[in-house]
Structure formats: structure tokens, C-alpha cells
Amino acid sequence: MNTADSQRVQRNLTALIEFSRIINTSLDLNFTLNNLLFSCFGKFLTTKGFVALYEGETLVIQASKGLPTNLPLTLGAGDWSTAADSPDFSQYLKEHHIVLTEVIESSRKKLGIIALGEKINKAPYSDEEKEFLRIILNLAATSIENSQFIEELKVLNRQLDGRLNSLSSLFELSKEFSALVDEERISKLLIYSLLGNFMMTGYAVIYCDDRRLRILESTFPKAVLMNTIEGRSTVSVNKILRGKEVYNFFPGLDNFSVSLCIPMQVQGESRGYILLGPRMSNKEYSEQDIEFIYSVGGLAINSLENKRLFKEALEKQKMEEELQIAKEIQKNLLPKFLPEVSDIEFAAESIPSKQIGGDYYDILETADSHYTVAIGDVSGKGVPAALLMANLQAFLKVTAKQNLPIAEATGLINNLITENTSDGRFITFFWLSLDAAAKKLQYVNAGHNPPLFIRGGKIRHLDKGGIIFGVAPTLVPYTAEEVDLQHGDLVVLFTDGVTEAKNPEDYEYSDERFESLILKNSAAGAEKIMKIIKDDLREFVKGTPQSDDITVVIIKVR
């Protein structure tokens, strides 16, 4: 080797050592690539070139000097030589006088390419220069790969930071939502938390409460939005809708700018949704953004549901208290003892349903050997029905002692009940005046189930009377009927809870079964017949809870 060659080798070695030292001082990718280009420019006396690296399946220019950066590179992964075969790429190289390209490859994979322009002196690249280029590319490859790895770590760290921030925000928001029971404050907290993170141009929060959609918050015209969502089921919005999917589901929202529709779900069931317009920054909602919005929506809907359940629990508690009061009222209205009368047997039973109904019965001694027997059924449930029953009892006790004709007295009671009745309530009522000594009775039926009068194995229905109580004043007088009693006669008063009692198969006990049972056992005493009725009902319903009271009053003439 002559002196010139020795000096050239020494310069190359020095340059390589210097290049290696420089690029290994930093893990910044731009620093490495720019130094790679500058080293090539200095060594080969060229003024233009670029470095393109693979990003997935595509080569992307990462650093360039002396060239526009809009290189049309959309190349497949793999051998970069396919890039040279690309007409667009080849044309670009020719237009910009790029005469040398070389692969940048580490020990594990191809990283990209370097492309260099003509030398200043227009001389071609010598084999020695190409060999030098490959050497510095080998040196640069490790640094590039390390820099890319660091960049990937930075991206992962940023994503991790973002997720940690989201989790921290969700944790704080969960505490805020759990402390709220006011619907307006819950919806505002939801919107403010989304505005603080995304600065949307528009929004709406829609909630399904008792199968009815309501707009809690909206920057869109509420009337138009309500017309659009009315009749829609939230259940059908069971996935996140983006862009045109929103308009396909809500055609009426075409004139609004809505980018996202995110369902708010409880245990997999949609109970509302959030409509969001584009962000003011024009930045698209990322998957991480949507995940955050979905999570915040979940916190809000759970809070709204908790509030609804809390309200329902209060109402249920109030109703149970009301029912308990009604039960006490009803219980106190029923007679605690039945009169003992020679030649006449009384038996009575009232079985309350699970809910408080309005059955009423009474047996009053109004004079010597004179008794008033009454049965009624007040429409409706709860305290109002119990109070109306109390009114009936008061009117009955006062009127029964006035010694008025029973038909006239019935008209008077109806007028009093009508004056005290509201909300469409009414009472079906039957009563009779019994002269035990003379063995006679007079009765009036005001729209009640006709009691059964059994004599000689035949049933007659006691149905003379008039209209039910509480519907209208007495304009047409009630009709009364007098019946002479004989030994063995049986009178059975009952409410419709008896004949309409249901079994597990939802069949009714029926008038036919009841009348057949009474007829078959009419020779028995009052208490015995009552026991037979209760046993037969118990066997029929098989423990099925009944929705109405069951009341029976029996009069048996000895």
C-alpha cells in the first residue's frame, strides 16, 4: 500500500470512528438520521438525499436535505427494491437526480433506505464509496433501531400516562357521582367532565326513565331532538355509533353535527345515550377517548339508576306504611263478636288479600230481636278505600237506628256516600233487616253480588234493589223485598273475592262451584258451612296469593 492509499484508509477509519462516536452519543432518532445524511454529504460531496424508514407496511421519509418531503411513498413491506420498481418512486428519483440508494438493515430486520443525489462533481459513486456507505449504514442501523425502540417506549409511556390520568379522573368522578342524588346535578357533572376533556361543539344527554325518553341536557334544539328520538327504544342503541351511523339511526339529526352516539348501559342494558358533536380542535375522538366517555357515561347512568331505585324504595315504603294503616282501619271496622240469637245462627269471615281491598261486613243489633246484616265492597285499594269504608259504617250505624223503611234508608246512605266520594270510587252494598222473633227479613241490594237464599234444595238470588253507592244521587227509589223465613232457610252473603278467587293455573273459583257447594251442604249449621267454604277455597287456590278480599256472611234459620 502506497502512502496515498494509507492516508485514504486512515481518513476513512478516522471518519468512521468519529461517525460512530457521534451517533452513539444520543438516542434521538432525528439526531442520528441527520448526522447520517450530513456524514454522507461530507464524505461524498453531495447536497441532497433522504432517509426513509418503515412504519408498519409503509416507507416514510424521516429526514431529508435538499429535497421536498412529499415523496409519494406507499410501498409494501419487504424488499425495498420493489420501491425502485415503483413507477412513481422511480420517476421521483429521476426528477431529483437521486442516483444512489442503499438498504439500512440491522441484524434483525430491514429498517429502511437511504437515497443520495448526484455528487457535486457529477462523478459516479465509486465502489469504495459504496462500501464506505454500507459500513456507516451498518454503524447507524443499531443506533436507529435503539432510537426507534426508545421512541416506541416514549409512545407507550405517553399512552400509559394517558390511561393513568383517565383512571384517576374516573376514580374521582366515581366519588362525585356516588355523592349525588339530584338528577340535574348528575347530568351536569357528566357534561362538564366531558367538556373539560374534549371541548365538544355540541352535546345531548338522553335518559330512559320508566320506558320514557327524556332529554336531560342538550345544546341541540330540544323540540327537534325530542321529535327525533320519540318512539325510539334505548335498547336498540346497544353499540357506539360513529358519523353516518348516527344519522342512519336518527335520520332527523341530519341537520345537526353529531359525531358520536354512546349508549349508557346498566348490566348490559342501554338506559340512555350521549350524543356528541365534533371537538373544537377538529381532532378525531380516539378509541381511548371513546372508552373514557363510555366509562363516564356508565358512572352517570349508575348514579341515575341508584337515584331512581332510591325513589322507588321510598315510594314502596310509603305505600307499605299506607297499607298498614289501611289494614288497621279495616280490621277495626269489622265486628269482633257475632250476636247469639235463638233460632238464628250467624257466621262471618273476611280474609284479606295481600293488598288491602275494601270488603266490609257488619251485624248490628238495632232493637229487640231486630238485627241489621250488611256486606259491601269498596272499589280501590289502600287508605282511601279504608276511609270510605269507615264512612259507610258510620252512615250505616246511624241510619239503621232511625227505624226508617229500608228502601228509604238505602237511598239516604247512597246520597251521603255520593257526597263523600271522589276519584270515581263506588261501593257495592247489600243489607237486610232481620226480625228474628217474627222470622222475617227485608233486604235491598245496591249493585252487590246477589246473596244466595236456599230453601228446599233450591237457590234464589236476592237481587232487588237499585244502583251502587257513590255513582249518583238517589233519583230512582230503591226497591226492597220482604222474605218470610222458615226452619232450615239459609242466606249466604259474599263478595266477588270468593267467586273470582284464582288457582295457580289462573282459573276462577266461579259462581257455579260456589253455588253447588252451598246447595250440597245447605243442611249444615252456619259455622260448619263456613268451614266447608274455607276448606274448599283453600284447596282450590293452593296457596296462590289473591288480589281481592274474600268475605262471607252466613245466616242459618234453625
Please compute the mean of the pLDDT values over residues 463-484 and round it to a whole number. 95
- pLDDT: which is higher, 86 or 228: 228
**Predicted confidence (pLDDT) at residue 521 exceeds the cutoff of 90:** yes
Q: State what percent of residues in the chain have pLDDT above 70.
A: 93
Sign of CA dihedral 130, 29, 54, 143: positive
Least confident of 13-22, 64-73, 346-355, 542-551: 64-73
* Nearest CA-CA partner of 348 in 227, 419, 259, 451: 451
For 315, other C-beta atoms within 10 Å of its C-beta total 10
Predicted local confidence at residue 282, as pLDDT: 85
Q: What is the pLDDT of residue 434?
A: 95
Give dist(CA 80, CA 97) in Å, integer. 19
pLDDT of residue 231: 67
In sequence order, which residues have a C-beta less than 8 Å from that of residue 514 and are 6 or more positions away? 494, 498, 499, 533
In the predicted model, is pLDDT for residue 77 greater than 80?
Answer: no
Average pLDDT, the chain: 86
Q: How far apart are the C-alpha atoms of 85 and 149, rounded to whole Å?
A: 30
Q: What CA–CA distance (Å, rounded) separates 456 from 524?
A: 13
DSSP assignments along 78-142, one per residue: S-THHHHHSHHHHHHHHHTTEEEEEEEE-SSSEEEEEEEE-BTT-PPPPHHHHHHHHHHHHHHHH
pLDDT at 235 over 60: no
Crossing angle between the packed helical segments 183-198 and 287-333, to the nearest 10 degrees: 180
The pLDDT, as a whole number, for residue 515 is 96
pLDDT in tens, 114-136: 989 998 888 899 898 888 888 88
Check: CB of residue 289 under 8 Å from CB of residue 296: no
Q: Where does the pLDDT of residue 88 fall: very low under 50, low under 70, confident under 90, or very high at 90 and above?
A: low
pLDDT interval class at 500 (50, 70, 90): very high
Higher pLDDT, 11 or 303: 303
Question: What pLDDT score was predicted for residue 54?
Answer: 83
Mean predicted confidence (pLDDT) in 540-554: 90
E runs forming strands in 136-224? 203-209, 212-218
**Predicted confidence (pLDDT) at residue 81 exceeds the cutoff of 60:** no
Strand order in the sheet with 452-455: 344-351, 550-557, 490-494, 452-455, 458-461
pLDDT at 42 (0 to 100): 86
Residue 85 has pLDDT above 70, yes or no: no
Model confidence at 468, pLDDT cuts 50, 70, 90, reads very high
Handedness of CA 320, 325, 330, 334 (dihedral sign): positive
Mean of pLDDT values over 146-175: 84
Confidence class of residue 356 from pLDDT cuts 50, 70 and 90? low
Residue predicted with more confidence, 127 or 163: 127
Inform me whether the pLDDT recorded for 346 exceeds 50. yes
> 100 - beta bridge partners?
116
The region of weakest confidence among 55-59, 143-147, 306-310, 409-413 is: 55-59
- Model pLDDT for residues 239-252, shown as the tens digit of each residue: 888 888 888 887 77
- Per-residue pLDDT of 291-343, as tens digits, reads 889 998 888 988 888 888 888 889 888 888 877 777 777 778 889 899 999 88
Residue 540's pLDDT band, with cuts at 50, 70 and 90, is very high
Distance CA 498, CA 357 (A): 13
**pLDDT (tens digit, 9 = 90+) per residue, 173-195?**
888 887 777 888 888 888 898 88
How sure is the predictor about 148, in pLDDT bands with cuts at 50, 70 and 90?
confident
Whether 360 and 304 have beta carbons less than 8 Å apart is answered as no
Residue 82 in this model has a pLDDT that exceeds 70: no
How is 271-304 classified by DSSP, letter by letter? EEEEEE--BTT-PPPPHHHHHHHHHHHHHHHHHH
pLDDT of amino acid 76:
47
Name the pLDDT band for 463 (thresholds 50, 70, 90). Answer: very high
**Which segment, 104-108, 237-241, 285-289, 465-469, is predicted with the most confidence on average?**
465-469
What pLDDT does 405 receive? Answer: 94
pLDDT computed for residue 524 by the predictor: 95
pLDDT at 95: 81
For 321-409, where are the E strands, in sequence order?
344-351, 359-367, 370-378
Query: Which one is predicted more confidently, 89 or 538?
Result: 538
pLDDT of 107 higher than 70: yes
